[in-house]
Every structure is written in C-alpha cells, then in structure tokens.
C-alpha cells in the first residue's frame, strides 16, 4: 500500500492511499522499525530477551515466523540472503522462506555462506565460519531457558533480573547425579556476556562454542513467544557447566559418507551411515572449494566426549572449596530485633490499640485487621540460643518469618551483624537483597520441613541449590559438601549417596528436616523444632532461634 | 443470577425465526447452491463433516449454508441430523498400512525410506492474501501430467518402522480394548477406554484441539513439551462392511484419511535405555487440515502405544459413512 505524504491532514492522507495497489512488502515500515528497535536493545543487552509485538507472517507461527520478521526488518535490496533448515538449503521450509524474502525485498539469494550478508537458520550454525559484518538470524521456538525449571513467567523474569540461576544449576546437577553426564542435547543453556542465561535455540551442542566471541552478529527471533535477543560479535558465550565437568559436544565417531569430513556435525543418513548436516559445506568440501584448515581450527574437536573426564572420575578429585566467611569480631549480638510488628489487614499501626497477646485478642476493634505480632524485641549473642515461647497463635512464627523475609513486617527494625556491621536496618532492604541474605546468611527450618524443601528435586539437589546460589561451581565440592553438612549419623553411612539421589518426599519425615539440609555456612539459623524433639515448653508452641559460631564448618543447632 | 427465561411466547419465537430467515435466505446476492459449497468451500465442508462425525458432503454443505458459515453451528446441525438416522451396518477395522498415500512428509528425517510427497498443501507456500477482482483464467485443458509413482512409493514403509529396526522405539504392551467404545451410543465414564477418548477427540472442535495442544506444550501446569512430528501421511483407505448374506467383508468405497506419527523422547529417572515412543494421530476426511497443519495436536498427552491397529465402528449408509475418525492419545508413557 503506497501513501503519498504531501498533504498531512487526514483527508489528504486517505486520498493518497491507493487501496487497489498490492502491498509492497510483508512487513510495513512501522513494524520493521519496532523490530529494529527491539533488535538494537537486544544487541545492547546481550542475551536479554526483548519483548516485541510479533506480527503475523504469511507462514504458520512456529515455522520461522520470528526469524522471518527479524530478517525482513534488517534486510535491504542490496543484501544477499541464505536460508537453511537444519543445515540444508534445500529443505522445503527453507526454500519457501528464501523465496518469500527475496520476492518481497528484491534482495539476492545464495546458498554460499561466504556470499550471504544475512543467513537465516533453523537449528544450525553454518560450518563455514562467518565473518565480521555478516548477520546470522536464528529461528527460536522457545526463548526462555528457565522454562524447564520454572513454570511462572513472572518468576523467570525475576530470576533473570537478579541473575538468580541456582535452579538452573540444580537441574544440571541432578542430570549429572542421575545420568553421569549432562544429557541436554540441543538448546544448551549458555551464559552470555557473563550476565544472562540464554537459550541457544535448538542448535546442537556442536555449534555452541562457535557462538563464543564470534565475528558475526547473532540475532534470535521467537515469533510465537514474541521475543528477540542477540549475541553481538566478540561476546563471551559460556555453556553452563560445573568447573570440573567439561562441556562436551556430540561425537558420531564417524565420517561423512559424501565428503569424508570428520570435523563437522553429522546426522544419520540411514543404514548406519552418517552425512554432514550442512549440505553447502559438504558439497564444497567434495568440490575442494573449502578452507579445510580454517574450519578444522574452528571446530570444537577439543570438546569431543571423553569419559575419563566425566563426573564419576572427578567426585573424589580435590577441588578447593570456597573459604568460609567470617563474622565481624567482637560483636555483642548477631541478631537485633526492635519493635517488630506484623498486621494483616488495613490500618497498620492504627489497628493495634485494643489488641493484645492473649487468646482471642488478635482482631483489631478499630479496623478489623489481624494483629499477628506487635512490638517484639530481642537480641541474640554469638553462639547463643534463644527460645521464643508463647501460646499457639501468639505470633512466634510470624516474627521468624518477618526476620527471614518470608513476610514483610509492618513495623520494627532488624539488624544483623553480618550486614553492614549491624548498622543497616535489614527490613529496609529490597527484595533481591533480602533473597541474597536467605542464600548465605539466614536459614529457617519450618515446622513442616517440606515447606522449606523443593520436593521436585532430589535431596542432594536441595543442598546444591543453596550452594550454587552462593556461587559454588565445583560439582565435586558440592558432592563432598553433603556429608560434612550432614549431622545425622546414619546419613554418613555408605548408603548416603543413594539417599541423596532420592526426593526428600520419599524420605522419612525426620530426614526431611532442614536440620539436615542446612544453608551455606549460616551465621544465624532459625528453627521450628521437628515434632518429635524435646520442647522447652509443655505446650506445642515453641520456636527457637539459634546463632552459631562463625568458625563452624557446619551450623550448630539449638 | 440464574437464567430467568426470556418471555414473549410463540410470537417472539416466530419473529426471531423470521429475522434469521430474512437475512439468510433473502440476502441481496445469488443463492449459494449445495454444489457450489461442496466444490468452493471444500475445507469448510470437510471440517463440518469431521466435527459432526458424519461424512456426507451434501449434508455438510447444506448445514454450512443454513449456519451461514459458522462451522460450529453447522457441525451441531449435522450431529442433530445424525440422531434421526438408523444404523445399518458397522464397518470392519481398517489397517492403516493399506493406505495409498497422496501426501507423505517425514520431517524428522532428511532421507527416509520412501518418498517425501509434498502433495496438495499450503504449508510450505507464502500464504499472502490475494485480492482477485475477476475469476481466475480457465484451467488448462490438459492438466499437468502427474509423475508416475511405483506401488511401493504409494505404500512407503513407516518412519516408526525405521526407528524400530534401529531398536530406538520402546514397545508398549497393547491395551486390551478390542471392541471400540461407541461414544454416540454409550456414555463414557472415567476412566474412559482409549477408544472412547480417541473417538471424542476425532469429533472435537478443531480450535479446541489446537488450544488443548498448545496448552499441553506450554501450559502453566507443565514443562515445555513439544512432541516431534515423525510422519504425516494422507491418502485413501478402503471401507468394508460384512455382507449381510455371505458374512464376508465387502469393500463399499474408499475414504480419505490423514495420519500422523509423533515421536517422543523418553527421558527421566525411570528410563532404562535411550529410546523413544511413538503415538499416532488419525483423522478421517477429504482434506483434513487438522493433523496436517497442527501436527502435534494429535498427541496432547504425550504418545501412546506403538501405532495400534486402529479400528472403530461406524455406521454406513449408501450415501455416506460415518467416521472412522479417531485421534489417538493416551496416558503418558510409564516406562
């Protein structure tokens, strides 16, 4: 549709529209501009998924509509486009997309990766190393790498914002525990630019190292999920793996039946034979029109599978563990609580008059709010154990939940000697800072231990989650950390490995206690005692708070 | 607030009926004949047939016209019409391997056994809106000659057979569900037999199936779970009934059907060896868009037993047969 803009009033614009003329392209200029803006943002923040208003394309969603939009937004008539589907220029969908792009933009087409200025691809990076100035557009079905470990889209966004990827690490940890290797084959998660965990679309592992500090620009378009992200040239791309578990690429241990190459990504060609996935490269090798030495140097041959370096061999290897953190010396208290209060409902402090700690006095006569706790104050010295004792419903658990951050306190102040030397009110910190405290400084044992456990991962995974969140990246160290954290004697038995691989849901309830799943070297641990333990009060209403000495390698408990 | 009942009596009903007829039957445009609808709106007719579970083009076209193009309403009209018809015969089970393929795509393998037949599809074409202001020029008198296909090209080996020969397919014991459950004659109660689920999905509204598929792969209650499409085939199958006197199966016609096989990687803690399982999707019809365009909708709940010899009862009338249509699904694999 063509518009002449000589007249800027509405009637003039309408008159300038030639309704009978066929549209010139597949995307209007406004749409292209939006996609370019999203792509520019993506280049500026490598690995970050930029939302964009994905337009409908004349191909089905899920058939490369995201890649097609990105290509159409960045391509011009003087470009040369190449489209491959799993390395194959002749795939029907690749042919269709290439025809659409060339017909609607007037650009040239080529199957030669050296000539193409823009290569749109599904599931492969061309074997021919791309050069500076070339653009690789990848079609992405599922852009969210955390989708497999976190179902909530909002929670995924929070995890990306805080670079909180411990559940991702746990999924890798669990994979190694169960299978001996990381079994994720395509779409391997990578850390881009040291900041964002990113899905590498379903490209094989073989192609992942070739995104690292690549000379070309990588643009990822997910049409169905309405996301664009980018890996700019010369950006660090690290496959997620533990320091002592080497990343491996696929190894067919074979040669291409057509060109004889043994340094390319091979696919099954039937009857037990293999062939190059990249048909262009294969044909050029056969025609002696390929830079074999340059390709071999860029191929990830050093990352071929090597069983001798796998997890089973490294569990016993000595890897230095992170140093325990020290608490400030000479502190009089580790925890100081002043005037803590929690009101559920309207009114805040105005709801408090007329309520009290006794039975039946929690509901505010003024506002109807429930005053769960009010004006609670105490401190805990290093090594001291403090018990909060009160009737059922008197607010003991509420106070603890406010301290660890499960609930927002309505009033009061909280100081930890480990935070800013005890000068900062912890309750004023924002959500991410409070969550970091939960990782390394504060821990809680819930009355029902299952409340504090992730029941969809193994017992060992529950420990690994805290350790990876605290920055541990050695698989061997995480494995060894468990017995030393373990306080129950029977868990030191030779069977501990088996038990660790089990889900905590499968363990006996006593085993599920956080007593045995401690956080990383906490300076303060809170606990609601397991039902079977001795209680300081004859009534079933006690709550304990314990602080442990900073030198302990594992926490002492009340 | 409950439904209190619109009041007005017979006069209001007649007036409403008149309003419907006026705009529908006396629109200021030429009447759309049944023949016009069956040959110009083939996919709409096919969709009505599939969702109604009655395969007779003229009936579906009449319903489509009466429903003013609303396929949901048209399918309902045909279903209600089917309630008036007696059941004369029950067809024999069909072996899907008997299919003479007109289309066959194996997206999961670059060089499968047998041909890749693109066939009549818009899947791989730029689907841009065309705005013709006149009928297209007359078709060439001599149609383009179709390439000759060998018999084995029309009956290619299944992709799942290749996987099985490579020992990559985990076999499941077939469920003991020999006599198909007829959802049009008996109430299905949970746990419904597999054939009841299949028959219900075979008649399901297309949009609802797509929604079910999409929710199952990206829904908030599950992980990303996109099942790989192993093979799509579309072709003709024989329809046989037993002769009332001789008792022998007699072919009374052929019908078109679309079949898909989806491949699912098996992983997880309970896996004992690398492997996959396969599930089949099935849809009767002349040109069914359903399995071919949204392939994985055929197995919203992962895959099932190895491609079961599919069978279903269907009533037959001289003018058309009711559907053998069935989409297989099943519980998640357990091994």
Distance CA A400, CA A442 (A): 11
A256 among known catalytic residues: yes
Q: Is the peptide bond before B191 cis (omega within 30 degrees of 0)?
A: yes
Residue A521 tokens read as 């070297």
| CA–CA min distance B127, chain A (Å) | 5
Distance from B124 to chain A by nearest Cα, in Å? Answer: 6
pLDDT at A457: 83
Inter-chain touch B124–A60, beta carbons under 8 Å: no
Which DSSP helix (H) or strand (E) runs through A443?
strand A442-445
- Whether A348 is a known active-site residue: answer no
Chain B residues closer than 8 Å to A142 by CB: 218, 224, 226
Q: Cβ separation of A269 and B110 shorter than 8 Å?
A: yes
Which residue in B110, B218, B220 is closest to A267 by CB distance? Answer: B110
Is pLDDT above 80 for B239?
A: yes
Q: Which residue did the predictor score with more confidence, B216 or B186? A: B186
Enter the DSSP assignment of A377.
E
d(CA A181, CA A170): 13
ipTM of the complex: 0.74
Q: What distance in Å separates the CA atoms of residue A212 and residue A190, rounded to the nearest whole number?
A: 10
Decide if pLDDT at B229 tops 90: no
Kindly identify which residue of chain B lies nearest to residue A68, measuring between CA atoms: B126
Question: How close does chain B come to A93, measured CA to CA in Å?
Answer: 6
- Residue B279, SS3? strand
CB B48 within 8 A of CB B64: yes
Is the CB of B162 less than 8 angstroms away from the CB of A92?
no
Task: State how far residue A435 is from chain B, nearest Cα, in angstroms.
Answer: 24
Report d(CA A132, CA A114) in Å as an integer. 11
Q: Which residues contact A485 (CB under 8 A, 6 or more apart)?
A: A463, A516, A517, A518, A554
Catalytic residue among A107, A156, A276, A511: A276
Chain A interface includes B2 (CB < 8 A): no
- pLDDT confidence bin for B275, thresholds 50/70/90: low
A288 DSSP assignment: T
- Tell me whether residues B124 and A95 touch, CB distance under 8 A: yes
pLDDT of residue A501: 54
Locate A248 and state its tokens. 């491996």
Helix/strand/coil percent split, chain A, to 5: 30, 20, 50
Q: Which of B109, B124, B222 sits opposite A93 (nearest CB)?
A: B124
Residue B124 touches chain A, beta carbons under 8 Å: yes
Determine whether the interchain pair A99/B126 forms a contact, defined as Cβ–Cβ distance below 8 Å: yes
Residue A506 DSSP label: G
Side-by-side strand order, sheet with A542-547: A385-389, A542-547, A524-527, A442-445
Assess whether A156 carries a catalytic annotation. no
- Contact across the interface for A26 and B128, Cβ inside 8 Å: yes
Q: Which residues of B touch A222 (CB under 8 A)?
A: none
Whether B128 sits inside 8 A of A142 (CB atoms) is no
Q: How many A/B residue pairs have CB atoms within 8 Å?
A: 45
What distance, in Å, lies between the first and last C-alpha atoms of chain B? 49
CA B122 → CA A68, A235, A254, A552, distances in Å?
A: 17, 40, 38, 69
- Residue B223 — pLDDT band, cuts 50, 70, 90? low
Residues of B in contact with A92 (CB under 8 A): 118, 124
- Which residues of chain A are within 8 Å of residue B226 when distances are taken between CB atoms? 141-142
Structure tokens at B134: 């006149």
Q: How far is B158 from chain A (nearest CA, A)?
A: 14
Of B113, B128, B293, the CB nearest to A58: B128
- Best interface-test mutation with B: which of A22, A151, A177 has the largest number of B CBs within 10 A? A151
Q: Does B270 touch chain A (CB under 8 A)?
A: no
Of B144 and B239, more confident? B239
pLDDT tens string B26-79: 989 999 999 999 999 999 999 999 899 899 999 999 999 999 999 999 999 999
Q: How far apart are CA B319 and CA A287, in angstroms?
A: 61
Of the ranges A363-377, A511-525, B208-222, B273-287, which one carries the lowest mean pLDDT score?
Answer: A511-525
What's the Cα-to-Cα distance from A500 to each of A175, A410, A461, A506, B122, rounded to whole Å?
Answer: 13, 40, 8, 11, 53
Residue B292: is its pLDDT beyond 60? no
What pLDDT sits at residue A479? 83
Cβ distance A59 to B118 less than 8 Å, yes or no, reads no
- List residues bridging with B240 in a β-sheet: B251
- Does B81 have pLDDT greater than 60? yes
Q: Which residues of chain A have pLDDT under 70?
A: 1-8, 16-23, 61, 311-330, 482-558
C-beta separation of A135 from A118 below 8 A: yes
Q: Which of A58, A142, A270 sits opposite B126 (nearest CB)?
A: A58
What was the pLDDT predicted at B266?
63
Query: Least CA distance to B267: which residue of chain A?
Result: A183
Active site residue A282: yes
Residue-level pLDDT at A436: 84
Is residue B145 less than 8 Å (CB to CB) from chain A? no
- Whether pLDDT at B328 is above 70: no
């Amino acid at each position: 549709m063509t518009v002449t803009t000589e007249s800027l009033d509405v009637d003039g614009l309408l008159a300038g529209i030639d309704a009978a003329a066929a549209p010139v392209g597949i995307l209007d200029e406004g749409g292209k501009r939006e996609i370019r803006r999203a792509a520019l943002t993506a280049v500026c923040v490598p690995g970050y998924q930029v939302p964009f208003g994905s337009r409908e394309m004349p191909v089905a969603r899920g058939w490369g509509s995201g890649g097609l939009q990105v290509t159409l937004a960045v391509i011009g008539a003087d470009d040369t486009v190449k489209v491959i589907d799993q390395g194959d220029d002749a795939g029907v969908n690749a042919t269709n997309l290439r025809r659409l792009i060339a017909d609607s933009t007037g650009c040239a087409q080529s199957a030669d990766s050296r000539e193409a200025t823009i290569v749109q691809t599904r599931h492969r990076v061309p074997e021919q190393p791309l050069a500076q100035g070339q653009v690789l557009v990848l079609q992405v079905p599922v852009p969210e790498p955390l989708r497999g470990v976190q179902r909530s889209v909002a929670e995924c966004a929070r995890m990306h914002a805080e670079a909180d990827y411990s559940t991702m690490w746990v999924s890798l940890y669990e994979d190694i525990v169960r299978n001996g290797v990381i079994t994720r084959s395509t779409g391997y998660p990578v850390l881009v630019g040291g900041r964002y965990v990113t899905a590498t679309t379903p490209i094989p592992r073989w192609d992942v190292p070739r995104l690292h500090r690549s000379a070309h620009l990588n643009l990822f378009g997910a049409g169905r999920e309405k996301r664009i992200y980018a890996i700019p040239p010369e950006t660090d791309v690290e496959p997620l793996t533990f320091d002592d578990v080497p990343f491996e690429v696929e190894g067919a241990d074979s040669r291409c039946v057509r060109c004889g190459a043994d340094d390319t990504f091979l696919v099954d060609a039937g009857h037990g034979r293999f062939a190059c996935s990249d048909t262009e490269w294969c044909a050029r090798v056969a025609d002696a029109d390929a830079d074999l030495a340059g390709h071999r140097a860029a191929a990830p041959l050093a990352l071929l599978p090597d069983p001798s370096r796998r997890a089973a061999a490294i569990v016993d290897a000595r890897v230095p563990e992170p140093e325990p953190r020290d608490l400030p010396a000479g502190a009089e208290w580790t925890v100081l609580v002043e005037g803590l209060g929690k009101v559920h409902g309207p009114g805040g402090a105005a709801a408090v008059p007329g309520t009290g700690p006794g039975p039946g006095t929690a509901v505010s006569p003024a506002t109807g709010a429930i005053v769960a706790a009010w004006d609670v104050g105490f401190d805990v010295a290093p090594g001291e154990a403090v018990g909060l004792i009160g009737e059922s419903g008197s607010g003991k658990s509420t106070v603890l939940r406010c301290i660890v951050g499960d609930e927002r306190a309505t009033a009061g102040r909280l100081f930890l000697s480990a935070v800013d030397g005890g000068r900062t009110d912890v309750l004023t910190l924002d959500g991410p800072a409070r969550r970091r405290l939960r990782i390394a400084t504060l821990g809680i044992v819930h009355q029902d231990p299952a409340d504090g456990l992730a029941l969809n991962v193994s017992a060992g995974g529950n420990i690994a989650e805290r350790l990876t969140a605290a920055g541990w990246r050695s698989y061997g160290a995480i494995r060894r950390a468990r017995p030393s954290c373990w306080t129950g004697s029977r868990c030191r038995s030779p069977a501990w490995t088996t038990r660790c691989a089990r889900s905590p849901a499968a363990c006996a309830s006593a085993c599920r206690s956080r007593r045995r799943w401690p956080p990383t070297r906490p300076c303060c641990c809170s606990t609601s005692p397991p039902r079977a333990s001795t209680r300081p009060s004859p009534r079933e209403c006690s709550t304990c708070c314990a602080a442990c000495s900073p030198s302990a390698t594992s926490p002492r408990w009340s | 607030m409950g439904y209190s009942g619109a009041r007005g009596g017979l006069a209001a009903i007649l007036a409403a009926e008149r309003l419907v007829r006026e705009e529908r039957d006396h629109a200021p445009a030429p009447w759309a004949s049944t023949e016009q609808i069956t040959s110009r709106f083939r996919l709409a007719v096919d969709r009505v047939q599939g969702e109604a579970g009655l395969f007779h083009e003229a009936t579906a076209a009449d319903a489509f016209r009466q429903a003013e193009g609303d396929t949901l309403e048209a399918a309902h009209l045909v279903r209600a019409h089917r309630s008036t018809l007696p059941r004369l015969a029950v067809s024999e089970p069909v072996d899907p391997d008997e299919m003479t393929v007109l289309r066959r795509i194996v997206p999961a393998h670059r060089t499968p056994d047998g041909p890749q037949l693109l066939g009549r599809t818009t899947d791989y074409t730029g689907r841009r809106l065309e705005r013709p202001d006149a009928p297209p020029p007359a078709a060439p008198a001599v149609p383009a000659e179709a390439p000759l296909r060998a018999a084995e090209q029309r009956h290619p080996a299944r992709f799942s057979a290749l996987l099985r020969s490579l020992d990559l397919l985990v076999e499941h014991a077939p469920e003991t569900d020999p006599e198909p459950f007829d959802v049009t004659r008996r109430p299905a109660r949970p746990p419904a037999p597999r054939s009841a689920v299949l028959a219900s999905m075979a008649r399901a509204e297309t949009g609802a199936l797509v929604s079910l598929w999409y929710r199952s792969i990206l829904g908030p209650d599950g992980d990303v779970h996109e099942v790989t499409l192993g093979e799509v085939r579309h072709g003709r199958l024989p329809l046989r009934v037993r002769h009332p006197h001789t008792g022998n199966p007699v072919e009374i016609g052929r019908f078109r059907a679309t079949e898909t096989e989806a491949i699912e990687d098996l992983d997880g803690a309970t896996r004992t060896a690398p492997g996959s399982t396969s599930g089949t999707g099935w849809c009767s019809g002349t040109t069914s868009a359903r399995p071919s365009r949204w392939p994985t909708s055929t197995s919203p709940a992962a895959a099932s037993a190895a491609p079961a010899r599919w069978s279903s009862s269907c009533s037959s009338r001289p003018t058309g047969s009711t559907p053998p249509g069935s989409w297989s699904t099943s519980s998640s694999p357990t091994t």
